[in-house]
Structure 1
Amino acid sequence: MAQPDFQVLGQHLIAASKQITLIPNMHAIVGIDFLVPNFQQGFAQQAQQHAAALVQQGQQHAAVLAQQAQQHNAMLAQQAEQHNAMLAQQAEQHNAALAQQAEQHNAALAQQVEQHNAVLAALAQQAEQHNVVIQRLDILQERFDQR
């Protein structure tokens, strides 16, 4: 709250005191009638100035707050865009990594299938060889039994 302008009030008092006429036994009371309206006018003027200053300060404060809100909104929008771009980039990287892992996994599975097929082929070959050996043993057994 603004303080009263004591210099202005002092000037009013000095001006009023020059207009006071002393009447015996009346002391300086005669000038009071002059002083009161001047004080009232000075205080009213100061109150109006103070009210106008408060309105102006309020308007300035509202303008500053509106500007700050706009700046804050712009900053938040920019942060959101950056965050979305970062998330999109991360998603692309993640998808690429998953695709690469899937390719590697498929290649490993294909290699395992080939290895299993090779093992099965080797087992089939061994089974044939065992069958041949068994057949030969059977033939030898028959020949041995015939003697």
Structure 2
Amino acid sequence: MKAVFLDRDGTIGETGGGIHPFKFSTYKFSPKSIKALNELGLKVFLFTNQTRVGRGFFTEQELLKRFQMMEEDLAKQSAYLNGIFYCPHKPNEGCQCQKPNIGLLLEAQKKHNLNLNECYVVGDTGSSDMIAADRAGIKKC
């Protein structure tokens, strides 16, 4: 199964410099872009580091509520995500899910029976997203 992994901050939308999850706003082009991927029959996943949870800036429940709000915004334009994979740990905590580690990608692969060699990552250029894509053998956009 082919899939596209999208980073959140700086790819789907922005935080406006704020640290609270409710400061996040989706870029105007994101719903149309995600809908186009949906219509192509690709699975679309969010994969994101959310270290601010681990650092105590906000709770995991607050983050999940913001994810829900983002999905509701996408649904208003007939776009949807097939799943959300996130790392809530502090930086350098040693977890395998924090990008540039590939734990989030492997979790999605297992849960959705993906062939990572047929998948794509869209993220910030030169970022941990692109390093994770390289490590997992995924194409980069």
Fold in common (TM above 0.5): no
Q: Which is helix-richer, 1 or 2?
A: 1
TM-score norm. by structure 1 comes to 0.19
* Greater share of residues in strand: 2
Q: Which has the higher contact order (CA 8 A, sep 6+)?
A: 2
Rg (Cα) greater in structure? 1
Q: TM-score under structure 2 normalisation? A: 0.20
